[in-house]
């Protein structure tokens, strides 16, 4: 008899990742600054000391210490993961029980809902307003009505780059018993972090990544920061040796160079502002809105999204397309200039 996949498995599709070679890739919110070049000698030295025949440090002691020193948090409150995705999967799949409800916002990072579906958790999506923001008071009303066990959302928000003020996150924490998981993947480009509040609120988990500001998308390194009680449980639930020695070594090397990180963040923000102003100068009837972002990308609302995306692809420029919007990662100044010039030419051709 032939094995048959169950109906749940048949509905899943791969996360959308565009293959192919492009001259300019500004689709994945990666940093245009490669620490492998800027910190080459330090990284090579760190890697040369990795004993490849031995299992990694299961506790990631030195990495957590380096992270804690950079962000000013107690390393005992930090769990390192194989990218933020592993930690999100762990929180939804293992931390929550099967009959518990989780709330997400929409639109937001699509993997929140995907993991909820994979682990058969009831996921309730709260729709953002037409301008893609969401009122904290409305959100609290919905949480009271739904009574979920957890809520997860990005701040600054994917895909718009809008940020919810720290005071608003505190208001949510103070007015719900639900676990509040704040994904601060882009918070290095903003100033509204609640990372320092993890000991004050026992229902707060903050996620961090090394893929954006740190420029380390290749090593798949993420962190969860929370109370001692929650961290103890997460460590009990995660797989042993979940983070390889190479990633740990590179992570330690990067965090030991705080000035490099700060300079990189400053350069990325400068690039984002340059790209924002360049595209903003093109806003007309064909571009409905460009959002003021506190991330490393800009978000554009336009009914011509598909046409602009396809024309840029023809020029070997890759960005990210949504239904009626575009997201463009900040690149080098020359890359930004080419994108701005190309978008202008594409818009002019529509006249």
| Whole-number Å distance between alpha carbons of 343 and 351 | 13
Residues 4-19 have a mean pLDDT of 77
Interior CA angle at 23 toward 314 and 211, to 5°? Answer: 120
Question: For residue 183, which of 293, 271, 89, 264 has the smallest C-alpha distance?
Answer: 89
| Whole-number Å distance between alpha carbons of 320 and 305 | 10
Q: Helix, strand, or coil here: 309?
A: helix
Residues 82-107 have a mean pLDDT of 95
| pLDDT band of 246, cuts 50, 70, 90 | very high
Phi, psi of 75 (to 5 degrees): -55, -25
Report whether pLDDT(351) > 90.
Answer: no
> Could you confirm whether domain 39-256 is CATH 3.40.640.10?
yes
Element holding 181 (H helix, E strand) = strand 179-183
Report whether pLDDT(165) > 80.
Answer: yes
From 3.90.1150.10, 3.30.300.180, 1.10.10.60, 2.70.70.10, which CATH number describes the 7-30+259-348 domain?
Answer: 3.90.1150.10
Report whether pLDDT(181) > 70.
Answer: yes
200-240 confidence digits (pLDDT tens): 999 999 999 999 999 999 999 999 999 999 999 999 999 99
pLDDT of residue 2: 83
pLDDT of residue 221: 98
pLDDT of residue 19: 77
**In the beta sheet, which residues pair with residue 301?**
289, 325
Report the percent of the chain where pLDDT is more than 70: 99
304-337 confidence digits (pLDDT tens): 999 999 999 999 999 999 989 999 999 999 999 9
30-40 confidence digits (pLDDT tens): 999 999 999 99
Phi, psi of 218 (to 5 degrees): -70, -25
Q: CA torsion, points 183, 108, 163, 141, in degrees to nearest 10?
A: -90
For residue 135 the two structure tokens come to 């009122």
Alpha helix segments (H runs only) across the chain: 7-10, 35-38, 40-48, 61-71, 83-90, 111-118, 136-146, 166-174, 228-237, 245-255, 258-280, 305-314, 333-348
| Whole-number Å distance between alpha carbons of 198 and 2 | 51
Q: Where are the domains of the chain?
A: 7-30+259-348, 39-256
Integer angstrom CA distances of residue 323 from 125, 300, 320: 18, 11, 10
Mean pLDDT, the chain, rounded, equals 95
pLDDT of residue 8: 78
Residues 14-27 have a mean pLDDT of 85
| pLDDT band of 1, cuts 50, 70, 90 | low
110-159 confidence digits (pLDDT tens): 999 999 999 999 999 999 999 999 999 999 999 999 999 999 999 999 99
pLDDT of residue 283: 80
| Whole-number Å distance between alpha carbons of 61 and 306 | 47
296-309 confidence digits (pLDDT tens): 999 999 999 999 99
pLDDT of residue 277: 96
Least confident of 50-54, 94-98, 109-113: 94-98
pLDDT of residue 12: 77
Q: Are strands 325-329 and 297-301 parallel, antiparallel or unpaired?
A: antiparallel
Contact 43/256 with Cβ under 8 angstroms? no
Q: What is the CA radius of gyration of the chain?
A: 21
């Amino acid at each position: 008899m032939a094995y048959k996949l169950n109906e749940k498995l048949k509905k899943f599709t791969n996360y959308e990742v565009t293959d192919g070679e492009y001259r300019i890739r500004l689709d994945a919110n990666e940093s245009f600054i490669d620490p492998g070049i800027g910190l080459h000698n330090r990284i090579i030295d760190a890697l040369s000391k990795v004993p490849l025949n031995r299992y990694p440090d299961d506790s990631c002691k030195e990495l957590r210490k380096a992270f804690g020193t950079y962000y000013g948090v107690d390393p005992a409150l930090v769990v390192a993961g194989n990218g933020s995705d592993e930690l999100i999967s762990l929180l939804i799949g293992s931390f929550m029980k099967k009959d518990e409800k989780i709330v997400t916002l929409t639109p937001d990072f699509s993997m929140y809902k995907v993991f909820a579906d994979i682990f058969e958790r009831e996921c309730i999506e709260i729709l953002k307003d037409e301008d893609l923001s969401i009122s904290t008071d409305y959100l609290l009303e919905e949480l009271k009505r739904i009574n979920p066990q957890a809520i997860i959302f990005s701040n600054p928000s994917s895909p718009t780059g809008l940020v919810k003020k720290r005071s608003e996150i505190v208001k949510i924490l103070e007015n719900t018993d639900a676990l509040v998981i704040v994904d601060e993947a882009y918070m290095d480009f903003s100033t509204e972090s609640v990372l320092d509040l993890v000991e004050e609120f026992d229902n707060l988990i903050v996620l961090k990544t090394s893929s954006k500001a740190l420029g380390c998308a290749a090593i798949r390194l993420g962190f969860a920061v929370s109370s001692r009680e929650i961290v103890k449980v997460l460590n009990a639930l995660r797989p042993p040796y979940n983070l390889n020695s190479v990633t740990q070594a590179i992570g330690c090397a990067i965090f030991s160079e705080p000035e490099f990180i700060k300079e990189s963040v400053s350069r990325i923000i400068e690039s984002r502002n340059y790209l924002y102003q360049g595209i903003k100068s093109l806003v007309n009837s064909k571009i409905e809105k460009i959002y003021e972002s506190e991330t490393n990308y800009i978000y554009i609302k336009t009914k011509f999204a598909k046409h602009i995306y396809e024309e840029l692809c023809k020029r070997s420029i890759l960005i990210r397309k949504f239904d009626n919007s575009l997201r463009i990662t900040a690149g080098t100044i020359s890359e930004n200039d080419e994108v701005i010039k190309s978008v202008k030419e594409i818009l002019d051709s529509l006249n």
